[in-house]
Structure 1
C-alpha cells in the first residue's frame, strides 16, 4: 500500500462514519504493490538510459529505457533479484545503433529521438512522450486517484504475494476523453476497446460472441497514433477506461514480474503496424492458390464423399482450389497421431494424386496432442518429447473432439528441438504423399503447472505455445515446398503472423454471430495478423439459404475464403437460388485474386491487413473510429456485409 493509503487507513478504518461509507478494509487494489517512486541514479549505455530507482516501499529496482529507432522506445522494469531475461522468441528485429544524449534540469531527464521528445520526472516518477512539435503522444498516469489520494490507476511497479514472492507487474497510461483503443487480438466484440476489460489468455472459446479469444496479441493501438506492445508471454489484464477503477486510464496488470513494453509512434496507425512488424516479424506471402476457395465440412467421412464433392464442384462451375479433411482422415480415437485412416480414405498417395490432377490441393486437420494408445506414442514418451508434470511424469490431456469420447494424450513439447524434428518427420510423410496444407486446430489448452523442455512452466508457455506449434508445422511445409507453405491456424500470440493463415474458429450459424465474426477479423488485423478467414455459413448448426448467401458474400470478400461447418456447406445444399448467388460471388472472387495477391504483398512488406477497418484507412475522420460493420478490402474496395435477415 502506498504512503497516502496507509495514512488514510489509520484515520478511517476505525471510524464508524467512514465504515458506513464502505471503507471496511485496506484498499485491496494496492495490496502487495511496490511502485516506482523516484530515480536515485542514472547512466547512459549507448542507446539505453539505465535508471536506479526506489519504490514507495523502499525497495531498489532498475528501469531501462532503450531507443530502438526514432519512433520506437522500449521500457523495462526489473525488480530486485531478477536478472534481465533473454529473448522470448517474439522479437525478430534489432535496435538501430544510437547514442542517446540526455539533458538534465530541475529533476527532469529528457532526450530527443528524432521523432519523439521523451521526458522523465526523477523526483516523482512519471514518463511522458511528446511529438517533436510538443503534442502529447502518451504518458503514464500516476496522479489518477480518488479524492483521498488512493490509486484508481496503477503506476509502474511490481507486486508481491503474501509470501513476499514476486507475482506480477503493473503500469498505467493516461486516456484523453476522446481517445479510442484497438487491437489486443481477435476479439468478437465492438472494435473500439475503450470501456472494456480484457484478459489476454488463450481460450478455446466455444463460440464467437464474448470477451474470450483464441488469438490474443499484446498490441494495443490508440486513435492518437501510438501503439503499446507488451513483450511477454504471461497472462495480461487490461482495464481500458472501463470505469471499474477509472475512466481516464489504461491499466495493465501482468503476471510477469518484469514489465517490458514498447511504445510505437506513427502518427498513423498504419505506421504503428509497420513498426510492430519490424519488431515481431513480417508475414510471408501465402501461395497464390491459397487465395482460391477452400471447401470443407466437419467432417467428410469417406474418400467417396470427397470425390463426389470434387466432381460436383467442377460440374456446377464452382471454382475451388482446396478441399479440407477434418478429423475423419485420422483413425477413430487416434487424433492426432498423424497416421492415415486407410479404411475410410484408401490408398492415400493415389487419392491425393487424383485430386491434384483435378486441380485440388488437400488440407488436413491436426492438433498438437498424441494419444497414449497410438503406436507413435512410446518413442516420443521415452525420448521426453511431451510436456511434463512438476514430478517429471508425462502430463496427460484429454482433448474434447466433438463426437469422440476423451482420449488421454501427450502434449507435444514444441520447445524441445528434437521433439519438433520428430513431429516434422511425421508430417513429412504426409507432405510427400501430396498434402499441401494443415489446419492447425486447438493449441490453447496448455495447463499452467506443466513443465517444458526450455524451462518454462505452463504459465509462461500457455500463450507462446501456438507460436511454436504453428512454426513447427509451417516450417515442415516450407522445407518441402519452398514458397508454398500455408497453415490454417486457430490460436495465436505475438509473432504468429509469421505463419499464415488464421481463421476465426467456431461460431453459431446466425446473423449476430456473423457480425461478431467480422469484429474478430477487423480486430486481428489491427493486432498485426494480416491474413484471416472464417467459416462461411457459420460452424455449428445448419444455416438457412438466406444466411448462407449473406455469409458467402462476406466470406468471399476476405483475404481467404473457406466453406465449413457441422452440416454441408456446399452451395448446392441450399437450393438453386443460393447456388446461383454463390456462383456469381465466387467467380467475382476469382477475378479479384490478382488484386488480393497484390495486397498480400503489401501486407507482407508493411504489416497491413488485407481486411482494413475504416479507421485504419481514414484515421483523420473521427466518424470512422467506431464504424466497424463495414471494411475496406485493400484500399479500393468498400465491403458492407448484410447482418439483418430479410434485408
Structure 2
C-alpha cells in the first residue's frame, strides 16, 4: 500500500509484470516507479539506468550530478474489458484499490453492464486486446498504450515518446502525483479535439485548458462552465468517457503543444473508449452505455416566454392575453422565484398566495388561454424558511466534514445568510423533495426549471457510498434526476425539466439551457459554441435564453437575431432580467420576431421527426457540422453554424443592428437550398450574403423531406395544431418513409400533401 510519504511522490507507470486473460477481460499488473524532475529542466526521471530511459548523457547542459530516487515499485493494475464491438473499458488504479470490486454503475453515470468477448494475444514484448473494431496494444517494458481501429490506424497513443532535447520524457503516459492520476496522450499532427461539455470557447478545443468542475459560471464569458462533461472526441476516430465525478484538469496542447493531458482527482482512471471513424456512431455507443434521452412532450417544442421576474398573477395573465391578441403562439409561461414567500436562493415549496392567489385556479386560467405554467426551483434552503429547521433536524441537508450543516459555495447570497443544500444522496431527503412537487403537478404545473445546483461545498459530505471527491460534480446529476423522475412518476407522462447544471449522464433528463448569457453579440456567440460543445458530450435537448439574461440594454436588432436563432434551436425560450416579450422592441422588431416564432410552429412536424430520430440514434438535436461531416476538414472548424436534425443547416446572424449585414457562411458537402428564399448553394465552399433583418440562412439538404403545417392566425399554442394537416416539402425526391404523428402513431407519407420544391427561385417563406 502507498504510505504517507509516497502520497506526496510522483510515480510513473513503467513495467508490465503479469498478464491474465478471461473471456471478457484482461488484467495486467504494472509496476510504478518514483520519479523526479531536474530542477528547471522539463521532463521526468526514475531510478532506472539513464540509458534505459533514453537520456542523452552527452548533452553539455545535462547536470553533472543527477540524483534519482530508488526503484521502489508500487503495484498498479489495468483491467481491460469489452462492452461491444466499438467500446472498451480501461480501468487503471493501484492494485488494491476497491474500485476493482465495484460495479461501474456505482457513480450513476454508466447505466449498462453489457460485455462482449475479447480477442487476446501476447508475446515477450507486447499484449494485444481486441473487441472487434477497437484494439489495444500495450508494450511491456516500458509500459505504453496504443489504440487502433478496425483498419489498423492509430487513433490514440500515450505520449511517452515525446521528449525534450536531453531525452527526458515530457509527458509520460500515466503519472500519479499528489493523489491525482494523469493520462497523457500524444496529439497527431492534424488531430482535432472536441467536447468536454458546455464550454463557451471555440468548439475545437486545441490549445485550450480548463478544469471540469461544475460552477455557477455567472455568465458565458468567465471561463467557467455550468455543465462540464468528461467526454471528448478526437478526429482520429475515437471518443472517450472518464467515468468519474471528480474534477478533471484538461490541457489540449496548451502547455505541451502535442499532448492532450487529463488529470483526474484521486488514483482511479476509469476510461471508456468508443472507436469509430463516425462521431455519430461513437455517440450512439456512448448513450448505449449511459442511457438515452427521451422526447419531450410536443408542447415543449413551442415558444416559451419568461422574465426575471413576473411579480403577480395579473401581470402573467395580461402577458398571455397580449400574446393571443398580437397573434403570437406561445405554449409556456415561466414564473421565476416570486411564486415563493421566501424567494431569495430558497425553495421550500410554500406558494405565495398574496401574489398569485390559488394555484390551481391560476393554472386553469392560463390553460384557458392555451398556456402551461413553468416554475423555478433550486436545491438550496434559506435559514429564514420555516422548513429549514425541520429539514436540518431530519438530517436531510448536506453536512460538512465535521458533521455540521454545510453551506452553499460559489454563488453570492443576496443578504449574507448561508444557504443549506438538500442531500439528494439521502433516499429519505430525495423522496421528501420529490413529494413536494406532487400538489403542484396535481394542480397542473407542467414543468420545473431546475436552476442552480453547482454550489455543493468543497468540504461537503453527501449520504453516498462513493468517495467524497465525486460529490460536487455528481450533485447536479442527482438533483435533476430527482425532479425529472418525480414528474414522470407523479404524472405518468414524459417528464421535462429545464436544467442549468449538469455532468456526464445529465442528457438523460431533458432539457438543459445555456445559463446566464450576456445580452451582447459576444454572449450570443458564446451561447452557440456552448450548445455545440455540449452536444458532443451530452446528446439531448439543449436551449438558451433568447436575448441573453443580463448585461447592457438589449438592442432590438440583437433581440431579433437571437429570436431567429431560438426559432431554429431544439427548444425555444425567451428570458432575461428585463422584459423579453416581442412588443417591447419596436414595431419592426416585433413584426420580424413574430414571423420567426410562427415559422417555428410551421416546422413542428420537422422538429418532432428530428427529435424522435435523435433519441433513437443517441444523437443531439442541435449538431456541430463535424458530427455530420467528420471527413470535411473545413466543417471540423465551424462553430458559428449548426444542423438542426439531419437536414436543416442554420447560420445565425451575429449582429445587434437593424440594418442588413453581410454573413459569410460555409456550405458542407452536397447541394443545399434556402428554406425561405429558394436560393441554392453547392457544397464545400464559403458564400457571403447580405442578410436583412427579416432573414437568417436556413438551408435544406438536397434529397430531404421537410414536413410542415399551416399556422392559423388565431392559433394560440401547439394544442390548436394537433389535428392540422401536414405538407411534405420534398427537396429533390418525391416521397419519404413513415412519419411519427403528434399522437405517437405512424402514417405513410402518401397520406400527406407532398409539395416538391424544384424551382430555385421559389419564395417559400409562407406555408
Do both proteins adopt the same fold according to a TM-score greater than 0.5, normalized to the shorter chain?
A: yes
Q: Cα distance 1:294–1:600, how it changes in 2: closer, same or farther (>3 A)? A: same
1:67 is matched with which residue?
A: 82
Q: Distance in 1 between matches of 2:187 and 2:383?
A: 51
1:512 is matched with which residue?
A: 522
1:357 is matched with which residue?
A: 368
- The C-alpha deviation readout for 1:543-571, integer Å capped at 9, x for no partner, is 11111001101111100010000110000
Q: Residue 130 of structure 1 is aligned with which of 148, 162, 169?
A: 148
Aligned-pair CA distance for 1:272: 0.9
| Correspondences of 1:531-550 after superposition (within 5 Å) | 531-541=541-551, 542-550=553-561
Q: Which moved more, 1:332-341 or 1:314-323?
A: 332-341
Aligned-pair CA distance for 1:207: 0.9
Question: Is the contact between residue 508 and residue 540 of structure 2 (CA under 8 Å) also seen in structure 1?
Answer: no
- The C-alpha deviation readout for 1:182-240, integer Å capped at 9, x for no partner, is 00000111110011112100111111124310001100101122111101000000111
2:576 is matched with which residue?
A: 565
1:502 is matched with which residue?
A: 512
User: Does 2:226 correspond to 1:191?
Assistant: no
Q: Distance in 2 between matches of 1:451 and 1:391?
A: 9
Q: Residue 10 of structure 2 is aligned with which of 12, 30, 33?
A: 33
1:489 is matched with which residue?
A: 499
Segments of structure 1 that go 5 or more residues without pairing to the other structure are 1-29, 162-166
Question: Is the contact between residue 226 and residue 515 of structure 2 (CA under 8 Å) also seen in structure 1?
Answer: yes
Aligned-pair CA distance for 1:455: 4.0
Question: Is the contact between residue 155 and residue 172 of structure 1 (CA under 8 Å) also seen in structure 2?
Answer: yes
| Correspondences of 1:626-641 after superposition (within 5 Å) | 626-641=637-652
Q: Cα distance 1:232–1:635, how it changes in 2: closer, same or farther (>3 A)? A: same
Q: Distance in 2 between matches of 1:389 and 1:135?
A: 49
Q: Distance in 2 between matches of 1:333 and 1:248?
A: 50
- Report the secondary structure of 1:559's partner residue: coil
- Report the secondary structure of 1:263's partner residue: strand
Q: Distance in 2 between matches of 1:465 and 1:70?
A: 32
Q: Distance in 1 between matches of 2:541 and 2:198?
A: 12
1:6 is matched with which residue?
A: none
Q: Distance in 1 between matches of 2:132 and 2:555?
A: 57
Q: Distance in 1 between matches of 2:340 and 2:410?
A: 15
Question: Is the contact between residue 296 and residue 324 of structure 1 (CA under 8 Å) also seen in structure 2?
Answer: yes
| Correspondences of 1:284-295 after superposition (within 5 Å) | 284-295=294-305
Aligned-pair CA distance for 1:35: 1.6
Aligned-pair CA distance for 1:285: 0.9
| Correspondences of 1:468-483 after superposition (within 5 Å) | 468-483=478-493
TM-score by length of 2: 0.77
Aligned-pair CA distance for 1:45: 2.8
- Report the secondary structure of 1:585's partner residue: helix
Q: Distance in 2 between matches of 1:330 and 1:322?
A: 19
- Report the secondary structure of 1:137's partner residue: strand
Q: Distance in 1 between matches of 2:596 and 2:439?
A: 37
Question: Is the contact between residue 496 and residue 529 of structure 1 (CA under 8 Å) also seen in structure 2?
Answer: no
| Correspondences of 1:65-104 after superposition (within 5 Å) | 65-84=80-99, 85-86=102-103, 87-98=106-117, 100-104=118-122
Matched residue pairs, number? 608
| Correspondences of 1:243-258 after superposition (within 5 Å) | 244=255, 246-258=256-268
Aligned-pair CA distance for 1:504: 0.4
1:227 is matched with which residue?
A: 239
User: Does 2:587 correspond to 1:576?
Assistant: yes
Aligned-pair CA distance for 1:312: 0.3
Segments of structure 2 that go 5 or more residues without pairing to the other structure are 1-6, 35-72, 662-767
Question: Is the contact between residue 77 and residue 157 of structure 1 (CA under 8 Å) also seen in structure 2?
Answer: no
2:665 is matched with which residue?
A: none
Q: Distance in 2 between matches of 1:171 and 1:616?
A: 26
Q: Distance in 2 between matches of 1:214 and 1:293?
A: 24
Question: Is the contact between residue 599 and residue 610 of structure 1 (CA under 8 Å) also seen in structure 2?
Answer: yes
Question: Is the contact between residue 276 and residue 528 of structure 1 (CA under 8 Å) also seen in structure 2?
Answer: no
Aligned-pair CA distance for 1:530: 2.0
Aligned-pair CA distance for 1:637: 1.1
- Report the secondary structure of 1:632's partner residue: strand
Q: Distance in 1 between matches of 2:648 and 2:442?
A: 39
Using CA pairs below 8 Å that are at least 6 residues apart, which structure has the higher relative contact order?
1
User: Does 2:159 correspond to 1:148?
Assistant: no
Q: Distance in 2 between matches of 1:497 and 1:354?
A: 33
Q: Distance in 2 between matches of 1:319 and 1:283?
A: 27
2:185 is matched with which residue?
A: 173
Q: Distance in 1 between matches of 2:431 and 2:151?
A: 53
User: Does 2:232 correspond to 1:217?
Assistant: no
Aligned-pair CA distance for 1:399: 8.1
Aligned-pair CA distance for 1:318: 0.5
Alignment root-mean-square deviation, CA:
1.7
User: Does 2:308 correspond to 1:298?
Assistant: yes
Q: Distance in 2 between matches of 1:154 and 1:118?
A: 18
User: Does 2:623 correspond to 1:612?
Assistant: yes
- The C-alpha deviation readout for 1:612-641, integer Å capped at 9, x for no partner, is 111111111111111111111112111111
Question: Is the contact between residue 29 and residue 95 of structure 2 (CA under 8 Å) also seen in structure 1?
Answer: no
Aligned-pair CA distance for 1:137: 1.7
User: Does 2:175 correspond to 1:157?
Assistant: yes
Question: Is the contact between residue 81 and residue 115 of structure 2 (CA under 8 Å) also seen in structure 1?
Answer: no
1:21 is matched with which residue?
A: none
Question: Is the contact between residue 265 and residue 272 of structure 1 (CA under 8 Å) also seen in structure 2?
Answer: yes
Aligned-pair CA distance for 1:516: 0.8
Aligned-pair CA distance for 1:384: 0.8
- Report the secondary structure of 2:355's partner residue: coil
Question: Is the contact between residue 409 and residue 455 of structure 2 (CA under 8 Å) also seen in structure 1?
Answer: no
Q: Cα distance 1:91–1:55, how it changes in 2: closer, same or farther (>3 A)? A: same
- The C-alpha deviation readout for 1:403-447, integer Å capped at 9, x for no partner, is x42443321000011101111111112111111111000001111
Question: Is the contact between residue 341 and residue 352 of structure 2 (CA under 8 Å) also seen in structure 1?
Answer: yes
- Report the secondary structure of 2:390's partner residue: helix
Aligned-pair CA distance for 1:375: 2.2
Question: Is the contact between residue 154 and residue 251 of structure 1 (CA under 8 Å) also seen in structure 2?
Answer: no
2:131 is matched with which residue?
A: 113
Q: Cα distance 1:266–1:210, how it changes in 2: closer, same or farther (>3 A)? A: farther
